[in-house]
Amino acid sequence: MSAVRVAITGAAGRMGQRLVALTHQGEHTVVTGATEVSTHGKIKHDAGLVAGIGEIGVTISPSLALDIGRADVVIDFSSPEATVAHARIAGEARVPMVIGTTGMSTEQAAAVASAMEGLAYVKAPNFSVGVNLVLKLLSTAASILSDEYDIEVVEMHHRHKVDAPSGTALRMAEVLAEARGVSLETHGVYARHGHTGARSRGTIGMQTLRGGDVAGDHTVIFAADGERVEIGHRASGRDTFASGAIRAARWVVAQTKPGQYDMADVLGL
């Protein structure tokens, strides 16, 4: 198997550094591009040195357009605005993408889909194998447990995360709503403060916590009179997400049918 050539955006960020390291160390992948915003202090630095693994011969550039010609796939964990721009560059070059950016608006997601038209790409809020297994379990649990079981989704992330609730928590809530045959738009409750009154039956609560360096904790609570069921996932580091994204990158370059895929497709769930 020839090595898959990977361009990594946001290569000097916390997630980007782990993607660079694990992609370089993988048996079937090689880093051929690394980018950052043009004002970043690590521009023109070796991506491997920035990631703490030593020189790899790939310097961090200020634009994906400079690296796209050497890539089979782009892995993008950046900001919504940057991801839209990256999708346009990748789309024009006919290079598939793996997108882990969260917090996109409906318009931004549509812009990405338009840019990637005719290509296969993977877009997911979480690339952890464990989290995607949890999503499957949540669907089963919610279809079995009636609305006598109140549902609360609780997530916690590091202090630097800028969107809330997390994309993973939102996806969990969507899966729960779909399993119960309701709309998250009408049944989601995102905050409680003051005199809220009794909890409405069938609603799906979402609670967001931020602090420290927590990589990602998600717990779904099914609470009824007399018992409580909890299904959760805790990530102790970013490598689980990076490894999943790299697995998705290897998978998507082999797809011949265009369209948006998610991690469940990659895993065959």
Cα 146 to Cα 57, 189, 229: the distances in Å are 56, 18, 13
* Domain spans, the chain: 4-123+238-267, 129-235
Residue-wise pLDDT for 160-197, tens only, equals 998 999 989 999 999 999 999 999 999 999 988 999 99
CA atoms within 13 A on the CB side of 201: 5
Please give the CATH number for the structural domain made up of 4-123+238-267.
3.40.50.720
Distance CA 206, CA 202 (A): 13
The predicted structure's pLDDT at residue 269: 80
Query: Which tens digits make up the pLDDT trace of 214-226?
Result: 989 999 999 999 9
Burial bucket for residue 200 (CB in 10 Å: 0-12, 13-18, 19+)? exposed
| Helix 80-93, helix 106-115: angle, nearest 10 | 10
Residue 198: closest CA among 146, 142, 147, 150: 150
Which pLDDT value is given to residue 208? 97
Short-list 55, 79, 68, CA closest to 6: 68
What's the pLDDT at 131? 92
Mean pLDDT to the nearest integer, 140-159:
96
Question: How far apart are the C-alpha atoms of 146 and 180, rounded to whole Å?
Answer: 8
Helices in the chain by DSSP H: which ranges?
Answer: 14-25, 47-51, 80-93, 106-115, 129-144, 167-180, 184-187, 239-252, 263-267
Global confidence as pTM: 0.82
125 pLDDT band, cuts 50/70/90, is confident
Asked whether residue 141 carries a pLDDT value surpassing 80, the answer given is: yes
**CATH 3.30.1360.40 corresponds to the domain 129-235:** no
Per residue in 228-259, pLDDT tens?
999 999 998 889 999 999 999 999 999 999 99
Domains 4-123+238-267 and 129-235 share a fold: no
What are the residues whose beta carbons fall under 8 Å from the beta carbon of 39, sequence distance 6 or more? none
Report which of 100, 152, 129, 117 is spatially closest to residue 243, judged by C-alpha positions. 129
Residue 36 predicted with pLDDT over 70: yes
**Mean pLDDT throughout 31-60?**
96
Phi and psi for 190 in degrees, rounded to 5?
-100, -10
| Portion of the chain with pLDDT greater than 70, in percent | 100
Q: Please tell me the predicted confidence (pLDDT) of residue 1.
A: 63
Catalytically active residues, by annotation:
157, 161
Question: What is the per-residue pLDDT across 54-103, written as a single tens digit (0 to 9) for each?
Answer: 999 999 999 999 999 999 999 999 999 999 999 999 999 999 999 999 88
122 three-class SS: strand
**DSSP for 153-198, written as a single string:** EEEEE-TT--SSS-HHHHHHHHHHHHHHT--HHHHEE----S---S
Q: Alpha-carbon distance 230 to 56, whole Å?
A: 44
First to last CA, the chain: 25
Q: Is the pLDDT of residue 2 over 90?
A: no
